[in-house]
Amino acid sequence: MSDAPTAQTASSSAAEARIADAAYTGPMLAADGTPLKKSLNRALRLQKMRALALIAPLLIFVLVTFIAPIADMLFRSVENEIVSETLPRTTTLLANWDAKGTEIPDEAVFEALYDDMFYAIEAKEHTKLGGRLNYELTGMASLFRKSGRKVEDMGEVYQDQFEGLDAFWKTGENWNSFMGSDEWLASMAGWTKADGRQPKFKLREGMADVLPATTATYLKYAAFTQNEDQKNLYTTDPWAIVYSSLHKDLTGENALADYAGPAAEQLKAGAAAATSFETVNFSEAFLDIDKKWHDLDVWTTIKAYSPKLTSGYFLNAIDMQKSVDGAEMRPENQQIYGILFYRTMKMSVIITLSCIMLGYPVAWILANLPARQANLLLILVLLPFWTSLLVRTSAWKVLLQDQGVINDTLVWLGIVATDDRLALINNQTGTIIAMTHILLPFMILPLYSVMQTIQPTYLRAAKSLGATNWTAFWRVYFPQSVPGIGAGSILVFILAIGYYITPAIVGGTEGTFISNRIAYHISSSLNWGLGAALGAILLAAVMLLYYAYDKIVGIDNVKLG
Amino acid sequence: MADTKSTDAFVEFERVQKSYDGENLVVKDLNLSMPKGEFLTMLGPSGSGKTTCLMMLAGFETATHGDIRLSGTSINNIPPHKRGIGMVFQNYALFPHMTVAENLSFPLEVRKIGKSEREEKIMRTLGMVQMEDFAGRRPAQLSGGQQQRIALARALVFEPELVLMDEPLGALDKQLRETLQFEITRLAHDLGITVVYVTHDQTEALTMSDRVAVFDDGRIQQLAPPDQLYESPENSFVAQFIGENNTLDGVVKEIKGGVAMVQLDSGELIQAKPINVTKAGERTRVSIRPERVEFDKSRMQDGAFTLKAEVLEFIYMGDIFRTRLRVAGRDDFIVKTRNAPDQIRLTPGTQIEIGWLPEDCRALDA
Amino acid sequence: MNLTKTLMASTALTVAAGMAHSDGHMASEMTIVSWGGAYSASQQNAYHTPYSEMTGVKIINDESSAEAVSKLRAMNEAGNVTWDVVDVVASDALRLCDEGLAMEIDPDTQLADAPDGTKASEDFGDLLVGDCFIPQIVYSTTVGYRTDLVGDTPPTDICAIFDTDAYPGKRSLEKRPIGNMEWALLCDGVEKDAIYDALATEEGQQKALDKLATIKDDVVWWSAGADTPQLLADGEVVMGSTYNGRLFSLIVEQNQPVAMLWDAQMFDLDGWIIPTGLSPERQARALDYVMFATDTQRLADQSKYIAYGPARKSSAPLVGKHAELGIEMAEHMPTDPENAKNTFLYNYEFWADYRDDIDAKFQAWLVK
């Protein structure tokens, strides 16, 4: 209050300055003739820079530890690159496949799947993808894991036939002799691991035209062998898929007729023989691995999750799912999140209200006691903060359980019958009791600090004006303590909806919160996308409530002290 | 003490005592009686018991012993909200969450006064303090002086017969304080209300009050109209507390014809008016107002007792001159002279003689 | 994802630069992650202390096994894996292996042979689940009951859980479908061999949940291994499922009036994995440790301290007496023939596929 006159003086002097301004026609000039504004800005810039430098560590800390994780979480809740990155060719081809039809994709898709799977297996990405898709369709995890072991064998049909045709095809040195450039071959000839970095593979000139498919596959194989496996490419035997690519080239379009480089003879012999090679039907081959590969659901799921961004996690988080016809509700026996969100909100409100009811009188007493006693009492209020959350929660377990202290006392007093003990734990009551206790200080402290600023003269003034004790409290004291209630409620409510340890311990099945499911998805099911989507919804709900609070009560009316 | 116990007494304290801890008395045997319409100020240093008295009257403290009466009825057991006493607090105590009009409306609402009547009273009262234009503002949007006006208006709006003011102008700057002093007295006079005003500022007390009760050590040291208090302090505490005073210590030689001969500790003899001394041999402290000291021989009475003095310091204060002298071994003796064209300005180092009228020099308790 | 990748790459670079300084063949310090409590103590006694004495390697214990999967994933994403050897249950090992977070192990070259020369792959047999898991112990989730609260006819088969008439009172079950669903179907009359086929169907799952629904009001659901022993000790429940080692200490070490019901115990495996992304020195050290810690004698040693069965066949005859109590440990092992008359082995393949689906249904059922 004492600063009110100052504020007024300041504003009136500002008004005077404006009036003074208005008297001049041009902008105000500093002594050296530069515009005053510019001169002022220059003078202030240094100060601003210094201030910025001072808060920079904090700013960076907040950005790194707070903003970045939230951004990461929001991103994860829609991110879905794994499908298209692991199966690039397959998902591209699937774009043209009619998911609503009854036909499974054609051979071209399966061939692409073979290609994609082969590289994914080499990079050990296929099981990861299986895990991801298993969230959407049960059985995908084992389908991909199982296929991983067998896809490698598929290309061996061609490998065996080429090797049977000519022992030349058996060794990596022979392959390199015509795939690699002369320069690279020369640099590899004397290379050993001790020499340091392996010379990067260089393709023989013109090879890309002669054997296009083989070249593409070989480049991938070479890069993977050199970089990921760290093996000597020169002496390593190529992957089976290189042979199937070669078969494709030799039986399809190629420019072999004009080729006269190394191994031209073997290649031409191969081309002659390849037309009569036993071929692989990839669709059938995948069916052999697992009959699920001819299951429509598998393919609609892969197609549905092909895009790099997905709404799937968010749909899941509101008990919906993607289907061929767009989003639809999940079957009733899988709906859980709506209930949990509602329950979390409802119980958080109850906990907040209980905290107000219990915390208000305590804060009032604290604020009205002499400083010495108030400090002592404050320590008692803060005492729960100094014990571990787990200890406190477990203590409630001891108190509240059927054979616990409270029930035993009630039975001893004859208030309840021994076979009719109160159910105080493993239900919502338990969660509300334990969490009210844990969060109470967060209500008392802001209330206390706000109440401390309410001078006792207000109550005296009200009484001197003819108000009874109750009227004085209700019309004069209480409205002034509302900012404390607001601050406490926001703190308690926001902390409450994010709690999971306490509900997990004392909440049983009825008293668990949405955060328990988030924790489950983060630490147990590893479905981080769904966890992130649930977290994002929770964040949005909090912000919405905050916005509503600002609209109704006004955020200026929140005081922490 | 001025315990008149007249039948027309409006506010009465009778043998009131107050102790907070059961060991020390904050208010000792207080007796006071005020007629209706009086403006009485309780003046005293902090801890003298004046605010406690006010709070007992308001009902926020209960008297440990004794009786407090309002219009002849004891109010000891009446809760504050039923006493119908208006009160203005030091820090205004305006309700920050209400507008000015709501603040004023509050005492009317709790008295269940109808809306139209309320509005009329609010505007009329705001008019009295020239704050009609501020009805819709919040206290935080007002300056200190404006807030105090509102606080005053709020204490008056329900037309109480008695208004208590607890250092209401303490937080304001000098100029504003003087304006408001005037306004408060004007209002009190116009409305014919009885006011008990607490302050530690003697100027405020002297300029505003019908009577001033000087408090010290839990007792009323003197209860008198301002001029009497200034001119004729009844003891050395009052003399020193009210206005500026020069004091000299000595022993009474004799008292004759209403004049006491006092021998100062430094040896000189002076004449003084006996107030708290009755016989020769008593120690006394004589007090002389600085403006009653004369050093111009031509203006002194014949045969007046004079003292030698040395000018130590001359301070120019605009309307007056303050001259510090060394007199009878003390170097804090002050002489005040009016700034007039013929006034002498003493230069430090000058040796002079000073004197005064015996009735201006009061021999008080030592 | 590109941002993440750049971030990871730069972190990896920094880490690599840091590692370039370390010379020598193996790291001289390693962080081993386990479950804490009595279990970690048994590992300390049987593995860590002798290994440190033998090699001078300093072993740092971390008790994060419960969150190992998520933490390893986070470490891997950040490009800074600080753990060298991690103790996990087999299902988590399988998941970590699928995620590429655990390195593949060749048992015959990277694990010790049995004293008689039997290859590790044969000595561990079926217990080598997945390509990354190095089995350590066999434990079981089984039921304990209060001997003073079951009257004159103590339960002898698992279906006592569902028999609230004969055994009134609360029972504690783990707050997850695994185990409970199998027991529910078994007690609903499904043949043991047909249980997983049934559970793979919508009807079978519903059937299991319906069976569990008959006792839903009498169940206290637990999520920490210490819960059931506590509930039994407090008399809060008349029976409850938990890990057999927990019941062992409750019965034998704490002398509580509790007895074991071995019927239909659910075998599970616990063992080591080595995270991917370790520097060659640390990986070599981790492999060296694992080879030592899972040899026949070491596995047998651990059972002196805790009632879990060694994962090697060759260790079984070496199981001796409890290190402090001096009682024979063999009869308290879940693998003891007397106890293992009717058992389930956790079906890793099945649950890897159905876990997400059935868990969603199970939790939805719980909430309603």
Segments making up each domain of chain A, as ranges:
4-76, 83-153+281-310, 167-274, 338-557
pLDDT of res. A421: 87
Residues A517-561: pLDDT tens digits? 999 998 888 899 999 999 999 999 989 988 888 888 777 766 665
Spans of all domains in chain C: 2-132+274-327, 141-267+338-367
Give chains near C: 3+ CB pairs under 8 A.
A
Report the C-alpha gap between A307 and A327 in whole angstroms: 15
Average pLDDT across chain C, whole number: 89
pLDDT, tens digit, for every residue of C280-310?
A: 999 999 999 999 999 999 999 999 999 999 9
DSSP letter, residue A198: P
Please report the pLDDT score of residue C276 as a whole number. Answer: 94
pLDDT of residue A475 exceeding 90, the answer is yes
Q: Which sign, positive or negative, has the C-alpha torsion B14, B212, B243, B275?
A: negative
Regarding chains A and B, contact by 3 or more CB pairs under 8 A is answered as yes
pLDDT band at A102 (very low <50, low <70, confident <90, very high): confident
Closest listed residue to residue C112, CA positions, set C314, C292, C343, C304:
C292
Residues of chain A with Cβ-Cβ distance to B111 below 8 Å are 466
Q: What integer pLDDT is reported at residue B147 of this predicted model?
A: 93
What are A's interface residues with B at a Cβ cutoff of 8 A? 1-2, 4-5, 8, 455, 457-458, 460-468, 471-472, 475-476, 479-480
- DSSP letter for each residue of B271-301: EEEESS--STT-EEEEEE-GGG-B--GGGSP
Helix (H) or strand (E) holding B316: strand B306-316
B119 Cα to chain A: minimum distance (Å): 17
Residue of chain C nearest A79, judged by CA positions: C1
Contact A334 C360 (CB under 8 A): yes
Grouping H, G, I as helix, E, B as strand and the rest as coil, residue A530 is: helix
Q: Could you give the residue ranges of the DSSP H alpha helices within chain C?
A: 2-19, 37-43, 49-55, 68-78, 90-98, 107-110, 120-124, 180-187, 195-199, 202-213, 227-234, 244-248, 280-293, 296-302, 348-367
Pairwise CB contact (< 8 Å): A128 & C355: no
Which among C209, C236, C359 has CB closest to A401?
C236
Q: How far is CA C279 from CA A5, A420, B213, in A?
A: 69, 62, 92
C131 touching A, CB under 8 A? no
Domains by residue range for chain B, with CATH? 9-236 (3.40.50.300), 248-365 (2.40.50.100)
**Residue C38 corresponds to which amino acid?**
A
pLDDT in tens, A274-323: 888 988 899 999 999 999 999 999 999 999 999 999 999 999 999 999 88
Say whether B107 and A465 touch across the interface (CB within 8 A). yes
Element (H, E) at A347: helix A337-368
Cβ-based contacts of A466 with chain B (< 8 Å): 81-82, 84, 107, 110-111, 158
Single out the residue of A74, A76, A108, A80 nearest to residue A94, CA to CA: A108
What confidence score (pLDDT) does residue C16 get? 42
pLDDT of A200-252, one tens digit each? 899 988 888 888 889 999 999 999 888 888 888 888 889 989 999 999 888 88
The mean per-residue pLDDT over the stretch A439-455 comes to 91
With a cut of 80, say whether residue C4 has pLDDT above it: no
Using the beta-carbon criterion (under 8 Å), do A463 and B60 form an inter-chain contact?
Answer: yes
How far is Cα A232 from Cα A241, in angstroms, rounded to an integer? 19
Q: What is the CB-side half-sphere exposure of residue A456 using CA atoms within 13 A?
A: 7
- Which positions in chain B touch A461 (Cβ < 8 Å)? 87, 89, 93-95
The position carrying tokens 């839903």 is C216
Q: In this complex, is the C-beta atom of C354 within 8 Å of any C-beta atom belonging to chain A? A: yes
Supply A85's token pair: 């990155």
Cα–Cα separations (whole angstroms), residue A112 to A108, A161, A274, B327, C149: 6, 22, 21, 119, 64
Average of per-residue pLDDT across C196-211: 95
DSSP H/E element including A118:
helix A107-122
Write out chain B residues lying below 8 Å of A1, CB-based.
Answer: 91-92, 96, 139-140, 147
User: Residue A8: which of B107, B143, B171 has the nearest Cβ?
Assistant: B143
CATH of domain A338-557: 1.10.3720.10
Nearest CA among C220, C362, C368 for reference residue A343: C368
Q: Which residue of A has its CA nearest to B158?
A: A465
Q: Distance, in angstroms, between A271 CA and closest chain C CA?
A: 39
Residue-wise pLDDT for A334-343, tens only, equals 899 999 999 9
Of A458, A463, A480, the CB nearest to B81: A463
Q: Please name the member of A4, A471, A480 whose beta carbon is closest to the beta carbon of B142.
A: A4
The percent of residues above 90 in pLDDT, for chain C, comes to: 70
* Residue C301 or A28, more confident: C301
Fold equal for C2-132+274-327 and C141-267+338-367? yes
Of the residues B143, B152, B166, the best mutation for testing chain A's interface (the one with the most A CB atoms within 10 Å of its CB) is B143
| Length of chain A counted residue by residue | 561
A-chain CB neighbours of B89 within 8 Å are 457, 460-461
Residue A560 has a pLDDT of 60
- Edge-to-edge strands, sheet with B306-316: B330-338, B320-327, B306-316, B351-355
CA distance B51 to B42: 8
Answer yes or no: do A457 and B140 touch at CB < 8 A: no
A496 CA: distance to closest CA in chain B (Å)? 30
How confident is the model at residue B298, as a pLDDT? 78
In angstroms, the first-to-last Cα distance of chain C is 38
Q: Which residue in the set A141, A336, A426 is minimally distant from C352, CB to CB?
A: A141
Alpha carbon separation from A31 to A34, A39, A448, C37, C362 (Å, rounded): 8, 10, 53, 77, 80
Query: Which residues 6+ apart lie within 8 Å of C86 measured at CB?
Result: C32, C33, C65, C68, C72, C102, C272, C273, C274, C275
The pairing of beta strand B65-70 with beta strand B73-74: antiparallel
**Amino acid B323: pLDDT:** 92
Instruction: With beta carbons less than 8 A apart as the criterion, state whether C87 and C48 touch.
Output: no
* pLDDT at site A24: 55
Per-residue pLDDT at A561: 54
Does A54 score more than 60 pLDDT?
Answer: yes
Whether the per-residue pLDDT at B337 is higher than 70: the answer is yes
Instruction: Kindly tell me whether chain C and chain B come into contact, counting contact as 3+ Cβ pairs under 8 Å.
Output: no
How would residue A26 be classed by pLDDT, with cut points 50, 70 and 90?
low
- The structure tokens 């919508």 sit at C202
State the sign of the Cα–Cα–Cα–Cα dihedral A392, A398, A402, A407: negative
- Taking the Cβ of residue C368 and every Cβ of chain A, the question of whether any pair is shorter than 8 Å is answered with yes
Q: At A145, phi and psi to the nearest 5? A: -65, -45
pTM for this model (two decimals): 0.81
pLDDT band, residue A14 (cuts 50/70/90): very low
Residue A24's alpha-carbon distances to A16, A29, B7, B317, in angstroms, are 13, 10, 72, 42
pLDDT value of residue A387: 84
Q: How far is CA A132 from the centre of its chain?
A: 14
Which CATH class for the C2-132+274-327 domain? Answer: alpha beta
Q: Across the A/B interface, how many CB contacts are shorter than 8 Å?
A: 84
User: In Å, how far is B146's CA from the nearest CA of chain A?
Assistant: 10
pLDDT exceeds 80 at position A8: no
Say if C201 is an interface residue toward chain A (CB within 8 Å): no
B93 touches A at CB < 8 Å? yes
Residue numbers in A near B165 (CB within 8 A): none
pLDDT attached to residue A6: 43
Element (H, E) at B119: helix B115-128
Topology of the domain comprising C141-267+338-367: D-Maltodextrin-Binding Protein; domain 2 (3.40.190)
C141 beta partners: C243, C266
Q: Considering only alpha carbons, which residue of chain B is nearest residue A457?
A: B93
The SS3 assignment for A362 reads helix
CA atoms of B8 and B45, how far apart (whole Å): 30
**C-alpha span between B246 and A139 (Å, rounded):** 107
pLDDT in tens, B32-54: 999 999 999 999 998 888 999 99
CA-based nearest distance A492→chain C, Å: 24
- Write down the pLDDT at residue A189: 80
Task: Please state, in angstroms and rounded to a whole number, the distance separating the CA atoms of residues A312 and B339.
Answer: 94
Of all residues in chain B, the percent with pLDDT exceeding 70 is 98
- Give the pLDDT confidence score for residue A234 in this predicted structure: 85
Residue B261 bridge partners (DSSP)? B254, B271
Query: Among all residues of chain A, which has the CA nearest to that of C95?
Result: A131
Beta bridge mates, C205: none
- Residue B146 — very low, low, confident or very high, per pLDDT cuts 50/70/90? very high
Residue B302 has a CB neighbour count (10 Å cut-off) of: 4
Identify the burial level of B253 via C-beta atoms within 10 angstroms of its C-beta, where 0-12 means exposed, 13-18 middle and 19 or more buried: middle
pLDDT of residue A254: 78
CA distance A2 to chain C (A): 53
Yes or no: say if A204 and A181 are a contact pair by the CB < 8 Å rule: yes
What does the radius of gyration of chain A's CA atoms come to, in whole angstroms?
37
Rounded Cα gap, residues A241 and A155, in angstroms: 5
Chain A residue with CA closest to C206: the answer is: A333
Query: Strand C258-273 vs strand C85-89: parallel, antiparallel, or unpaired?
Result: antiparallel
C99 to A141: CB separation less than 8 angstroms, yes or no: no
**Chain C partners within 8 Å of A139 (Cβ):** 353-354
A246 exposed, middle or buried (CB, 10 Å; 0-12, 13-18, 19+)? buried
B341 touches chain A (CB under 8 A): no
Whether residue A66 is predicted with pLDDT greater than 80 in this model: the reply is yes
Q: Is B19 helix (H, G, I), strand (E, B) or coil?
A: strand
The pLDDT of residue B295 is: 83
B95/A contact by beta carbon, under 8 A: yes
What is the percent of chain B with per-residue pLDDT over 90, rounded to a whole number? Answer: 55
- Is the pLDDT reported for residue C26 higher than 50? yes
> Among partner residues C95, C206, C221, which is closest to A508 by beta-carbon distance?
C221
Average pLDDT over residues C196-215: 95
Q: Which of residues 136-195 of B touch A (CB under 8 A)?
A: 139-144, 147, 154-155, 158, 164, 171
Residue C324 has pLDDT above 90, yes or no: no
For residue A475, the chain B residue with the least C-alpha distance is B106
Checking if the pLDDT of C151 tops 90, the result is: no
Q: Which residues of B touch A8 (CB under 8 A)?
A: 143
Token pair recorded at residue A483: 């900012």
Taking the C-alpha atoms of residue B272 and residue B304, their distance in angstroms, rounded to an integer, is 11
